[in-house]
Amino acid sequence: MRILTSMLRYFYNQFSSNLNKVRSSILHRSLKGRIRIAVIVGIALMTVVGLATLFCVNSFSATETFGVQRPMSLPEPASAILVGGGGIVGAIVRFARRRFQEFKRAFDCTTAFLGLLLASPIVFLTGCFIKLVSRGPVFFKQTRVGKEGTLFTIYKLRTMRLNAEQETGAVWAMENDPRLIPFGKWIRKMHLDEIPQLWNVLRGEMSVIGPRPERPEFVSQLKAEIPDYEKRLKVKPGITGLAQVWHKYDETIQDVRKKVKYDLLYIKKMCLWVDLRILANTFVVVLTGRGAR
């Protein structure tokens, strides 16, 4: 015990001595030198905070827990260091996690505003085309379930004929859906019908990245049939997301089961870097038309 006490006292004295030397060195520097040190320390802290925000989760892989093909992995070493690190680094990581939702909202608003601004000519031309080939409004409104079960109205460009579900009731989209207007499948294939949902993002009802919002008629059924389905309602729904870019449109209850696993994995691992990876994959999906119905 005496040996341990002596060692601790020795290390403490060494640390205090070195700290005093550093403090004395800074105090004896000129004002310009002190400012230079402050700038260097500030840049170092900003860099660590930035990295903590980017890699604020453990390694992200779509193969985790349920063995899905086509993994999406984040750099393991950086994630492990930042998440596992203690002291200052650990505190910064925890701070970044707490502030991520605030940053995500700012990211959503910026992306939605720029997206609407840049895509407005496309929406206008597509709307004119819809009016030419089909009777009825250009925009389609529907009630969806948002965060914590809150209901909201989603906006899309209409790709189906009027009263398409009058006889069938609420049903999922299907291959070669007979309810589509002329060239409606092409509009969906290019995902042009999704653009107006950027307005929902600006209103705070949706996020750019998140689980897909479902209709109330289906949610009550899916809660009863799929364990943990309600957990995906803990975050705002999104225009795109992990499930949307890695899986096809819902056609059966089995499709929904798979998507729920993707959604829960995203909620567990969500951070800025994951969102950027999903956004990049979304552009690939839009260009290739993968998964459209």
Residues 69 and 49: beta-carbon distance below 8 Å: no
Token pair in block for residue 94:
């925890």
In a domain, 110, yes or no: yes
Could you tell me if residue 37 is inside a domain?
Answer: no
Q: Are strands 207-209 and 238-240 parallel, antiparallel or unpaired?
A: parallel
- The pLDDT score that the predictor gives to residue 92 is 61
- Which H or E run contains 289? none
Whether the pLDDT of residue 143 is over 90: the answer is: yes
Task: Answer whether 51's CB lies under 8 Å from 57's CB.
Answer: no
Residue with the bigger pLDDT between 158 and 78: it is 158
What is d(CA 183, CA 130) in angstroms, rounded to the nearest whole number? 9
Q: How confident is the model at residue 51 (pLDDT cuts 50, 70, 90)?
A: low
Q: Tell me how long the chain is.
A: 293
CA distance 217 to 220: 6
- Nearest to 260, CA basis, from 232, 238, 237, 241: 232
Q: Is residue 138 part of a domain?
A: yes
Q: What's the domain count of the chain? A: 1
Indicate whether 87 pLDDT > 90. Answer: no
Span 25-45, mean pLDDT?
Answer: 64
Residue 146 to residue 206: CA distance in whole angstroms: 7
Q: Distance between CA atoms of 124 and 196, rounded to whole angstroms?
A: 11
> What is the rounded CA–CA span in Å between residue 73 and residue 126?
37
3-state SS of the chain: helix, strand, coil percent to 5? Answer: 60, 10, 30
Q: Is the pLDDT of residue 180 over 60?
A: yes
Predicted pLDDT at 201: 96
How is residue 212 annotated by DSSP?
P
Q: Between 6 and 199, where is the model more confident?
A: 199
Looking at residue 285, what is its pLDDT?
Answer: 82
Is residue 110's pLDDT more than 80?
yes
Asked whether residue 84 is assigned to any structural domain, the reply reads: no
Is 142 among the domain residues? yes
More confident residue, 189 or 81: 189
Classified as helix, coil or strand, 245 is helix
Residue 144 bridge partners (DSSP): 152
Q: Rg of the chain's alpha carbons, rounded to an integer?
A: 26
For residue 67, is it within any domain? no
Average pLDDT, the chain: 75
Rounded Cα distance, 271 and 235, in Å: 13
pLDDT tens across 112-138, in order? Answer: 999 999 999 999 999 999 999 888 899
Average pLDDT rounded to a whole number, residues 33-49: 64
Q: 61 pLDDT band (50/70/90 cuts)?
A: very low
The CA distance from 265 to 263, in Å, is 5
Report whether pLDDT(62) > 90: no
What integer pLDDT is reported at residue 221 of this predicted model?
A: 84
pLDDT at 200: 96
Contact 208, 278 (CB under 8 A): no
- Whether 146 maps to a domain, the answer reads yes
For residue 112, the model assigns a pLDDT of: 94
- Containing domain of residue 154, as a range? 100-288
- Nearest in space to 242 (alpha carbons), one of 209, 286, 202, 283: 209
pLDDT reading at 67 higher than 50: no
Please report whether residue 48 resides in a domain: no
* Residue whose token pair is 């999104």: 238
* Residues 190, 129: Cα–Cα separation, whole Å: 14
Is-contact 158 138, C-beta < 8 A? Answer: yes
How far apart (Å, rounded) are the C-alpha atoms in residues 276 and 289?
20
Q: Per residue in 207-239, pLDDT tens? A: 999 999 998 888 888 888 888 888 999 999 999
